[in-house]
Amino acid sequence: MTAITTRIATELGVAEAQVRASVDLLDGGATVPFVARYRKEATGGLDDAQLRTLEERLGYLREMEARRTAILEAIREQGKLDAKLTARIMAAETKARLEDLYLPFKLKRRTKAQAAREAGLEPLADSLLAQPERRPAEQAKPFAGREGVADTEAALEGARAILIERFGEDPELVGQIRETIWQRSLMTAKVRRGKKTEGEKFADYFEWQGRLSSLPSHRILALFRGEKEEVLDLDITDPPSEAPGPGQPAWQERRIAAAFGIADRGRPGDAYLAETVKKTWKTKLKPALDTDLRARLWSVAEEGAVAVFAGNLRDLLLAAPAGPRATLGLDPGFRSGVKVAVVDATGKVVATDVIHPHEPRRDWAGALTALACLCRAHKVDLVAIGNGTASRETDRLAAELIAGQPDLKLTKVMVSEAGASVYSASAYASAELPGLDVTLRGAVSIARRLQDPLAELVKIEPRAIGVGQYQHDLAEGKLSRSLDAVVEDCVNGVGVDVNTASQPLLARVSGLSERVAGNIVSHRDANGPFRARAALKKVAGLGPKAYELAAGFLRIRGGSDPLDASGVHPEAYPVVKTIAAATGQPIAALIGNGPALRALNPQKFVDATFGLPTVTDIIAELEKPGRDPRPAFRTATFKEGVETIGDVKRGMRLEGVVTNVAAFGAFVDIGVHQDGLVHVSMLADRFVKDPRAVVKPGDVVQVHVLEVDAARKRIALSMRSDDGERAARRDASPASRPAAGARPPAAPKPAPAPEPTGALADALRRAARDRGRGS
């Protein structure tokens, strides 16, 4: 265990004591949010991101130690474990290195090499390798005629099988070649014969190559998906500069030969050994290393994709809540109509309806009248419109409603409806909204999402929310663990009102299980609202440990103790009493009293139990009790008259909402059915490595339209300051637009607004190549 904590401490750049304390807490059942928030003295102030990394590395290294132990035991049982091999296994720092060391001892299906050894041909193999000055056929003669060895040719083939296995399972050699290939070799892609038409979405990879070690995650996933759909053929190849000349061995073969002292000096046995080396590479090492490197590529891609998904999910969950305001939810549709639900300030459903303003019934006037009556009857403040099919047409209906009913002072907002259908058909939705038609549940969810995205989205399986890239290709376990951690961190970072929270929201609170969360709701329904945190101890199944882990994240507003509405943990209430006594004010008066709290010296309240970090946090919490870390609510205004992709023109300046962020850029809803893409090169006037450093889902942004491809439903956007002006100038000049089907001139001609060149042209090409790769 000491070795593990030392390694994690080195990787995180923190003291080993911090890691050891964190591991002890996690092993004791504590959650990451609890440790990050309430055990800063023990961990030296490690934050939730560091603790999540620590937790992940701890699991990996423990698995590796278990594998190390199993490998040592397996080799020991074979009677082949010596001190040197033990030292090499103990020094292995990765699972791949462990498996390389174990490979020669791993039990395999019966091989040609095993059969050759059983026929007594290992001495021949040793002799052929050690004495290349002797003719191979002469060395093989004494072995011909043995059982299973028909002649000298069979003896030489058996010896070759032994040597191929020996060469191909040398751990140092395998590791060196694998790493060299990773650093220098290329992944190449070619379209399969007859697949060009049906595989058009992979057209960028029909003739393509890229260095293994620098492939971004989204490209790796696109390549593997193209192969899976039988459109692309992939291969790992050497760069052209390292291709061997005619009759020359590949560098991998030269590496194998050098490792075993094989060289072509014109001796009788050199040709035999050279052929053995060639076959080692072609038939054993290359297939095995291709498999290893593909797995490594997949691991890189998966890690990147999971990080993108997790980051986007975090931003979506922590999007600005509109708050407790009566909301009208509209789930748009054409033939089936627009589903309507009104929820009050608490999220309770108070009215539902279905209107048919669009094709085929086109009852626009009746729809407006019905909506106006609902809004007036229930004092609606907000109109939430799902962003799916018929969203822009429904948005126009809402705009006319607002214009025709100015006294209602309504505000309309486009809301992502990703996952709403999953929620509608879930068992929880059936229990939460009994008797309500499945189609209407989506409208309820859309309305509630606007009020509080976090509270509503936790009811949906994170994978179904759809803010990742290629999420359906990823390993379910790894993705689920990462997304569950994000949800847990978000819920506990915001805090939960125990008297209004749903069971799914409560189940994400530190220390609470689904069963205990359900018991809290049942207790609340049977006995009325909780008046104090201490009353939670009466809930069935909520024992002392669960209470310790959960209490600080549960809020009770308007209860018997004002501290219960804050993030101060009940275990720290004595500290607050000491602070209040020092100021001469009651706790209720002290809460929110910034001047008095800022005048305090936290060091004076430190004792043997609560250190300076905790006291500092307590004072900050008292100044702004129960503060919500989410941003203030604001909405985007879509441009009037821009409702379909046909309405979007180059040079337009539009306002939109970021819906998704991928490694190659950000998708933006500009009010049409197809999101536009801001390529990473177009996100800012400076170089941007990580798109999430600039934007996140839910951000309201200003964009310029660079290019519109209506046939392929692609819109290229830019957030750079000068691109809109360039595009507008270009479109303003007829001379700058080539005739339909014409090729651009070889050299630019003088014109008032030239086509973009240099960095802008390069960026446009990159956008055209990469856009649309998220899913």
Nearest to 116 by CA among 74, 147, 77, 80: 147
In this predicted model, what pLDDT tens digit does every residue of 191-245 receive, in sequence order? 999 898 888 889 999 999 999 999 998 899 999 999 999 999 999 999 988 888 8
Instruction: Give the pLDDT score at 206.
Output: 94
Residue 94, pLDDT > 70, answer: yes
Q: In whole angstroms, what is the distance from residue 697 CA to residue 704 CA?
A: 18
Q: Are strands 327-331 and 382-386 parallel, antiparallel or unpaired?
A: parallel
Q: Check if the beta carbon of residue 428 is closer than 8 Å to that of residue 323.
A: no
Point out the least confidently predicted range of 71-75, 277-281, 624-628, 633-637: 633-637
Q: Where residue 692 falls among pLDDT bands split at 50, 70, 90?
A: confident
Q: Check if the beta carbon of residue 158 is closer than 8 Å to that of residue 136.
A: no
For residue 246, give the DSSP letter: T
Instruction: Give the pLDDT score at 764.
Output: 41
Point out the least confidently predicted range of 44-48, 219-223, 287-291, 638-642: 638-642
Residue 467, pLDDT > 70, answer: no
For residue 549, give the DSSP letter: H
Instruction: Give the pLDDT score at 370.
Output: 96
- Average pLDDT of span 670-686: 88
Residue 513, pLDDT > 50, answer: yes
Peptide linkage before 142 cis (omega within 30 of 0): no
Residue 382, pLDDT > 50, answer: yes
- Average pLDDT of span 112-128: 95
Instruction: Give the pLDDT score at 240.
Output: 87
Return mean pLDDT, the chain: 88
- Average pLDDT of span 145-157: 93
- List of residues 6+ apart from 22 with CB closer than 8 A: 35, 42, 43, 46, 51, 54
Instruction: Give the pLDDT score at 662.
Output: 81
Residue 319, pLDDT > 90, answer: no
Q: Check if the beta carbon of residue 129 is closer than 8 Å to that of residue 164.
A: no
In this predicted model, what pLDDT tens digit does every residue of 262-290 receive, in sequence order? 999 999 999 999 999 999 999 999 999 99
Q: In whole angstroms, what is the distance from residue 462 CA to residue 310 CA?
A: 9
Residue 773, pLDDT > 70, answer: no
Kindly list the distances between the CA atom of residue 519 and the CA atoms of 377, 422, 494, 535, 735, in Å, as whole numbers in the listed order: 35, 25, 22, 13, 72
Residue 727, pLDDT > 70, answer: no
Domains of the chain, first to last = 2-105 (1.10.10.650), 170-320+463-489 (1.10.3500.10), 322-451 (3.30.420.140), 645-770 (2.40.50.140)
Instruction: Give the pLDDT score at 45.
Output: 93
Helix (H, G, I), strand (E, B) or coil at 387: coil
Q: Where residue 126 falls among pLDDT bands split at 50, 70, 90?
A: very high
In this predicted model, what pLDDT tens digit does every residue of 11-23 receive, in sequence order? 999 999 999 999 9
Residue 523, pLDDT > 90, answer: yes
Instruction: Give the pLDDT score at 270.
Output: 96
Instruction: Give the pLDDT score at 563.
Output: 95
The reported pTM is: 0.75
Q: In whole angstroms, what is the distance from residue 439 CA to residue 118 CA?
A: 70
Terminal C-alpha separation, the chain: 41
The continuous run of DSSP H or E covering 714 comes out as strand 714-718
**Which pair of structure tokens corresponds to residue 677?**
């893409």
Q: Where residue 446 falls among pLDDT bands split at 50, 70, 90?
A: very high
**Higher per-residue pLDDT: 206 or 638:** 206
Q: Check if the beta carbon of residue 342 is closer than 8 Å to that of residue 351.
A: yes
Calculate what percentage of the chain has a pLDDT beyond 90. 68
Residue 1, pLDDT > 70, answer: no
In this predicted model, what pLDDT tens digit does every residue of 346-378 receive, in sequence order? 999 999 999 999 999 999 999 999 999 999 999
Residue 41, pLDDT > 50, answer: yes
Instruction: Give the pLDDT score at 725.
Output: 52
Q: At what angle do helices 171-184 and 286-317 cross, to 10 degrees?
A: 60
In this predicted model, what pLDDT tens digit does every residue of 469-506 receive, in sequence order? 666 677 677 788 888 999 999 999 999 999 999 999 99
**Higher per-residue pLDDT: 108 or 73:** 73
- Average pLDDT of span 417-445: 90
Instruction: Give the pLDDT score at 218.
Output: 86
Instruction: Give the pLDDT score at 540.
Output: 96
- Average pLDDT of span 706-722: 89
Residue 187, pLDDT > 90, answer: yes
Residue 587, pLDDT > 60, answer: yes
- Average pLDDT of span 565-593: 93
Q: Check if the beta carbon of residue 88 is closer than 8 Å to that of residue 99.
A: no
Residue 741, pLDDT > 50, answer: no
Instruction: Give the pLDDT score at 114.
Output: 93
DSSP 403-433: HH-GGG--EEEEE--TTHHHHHTSHHHHHHS
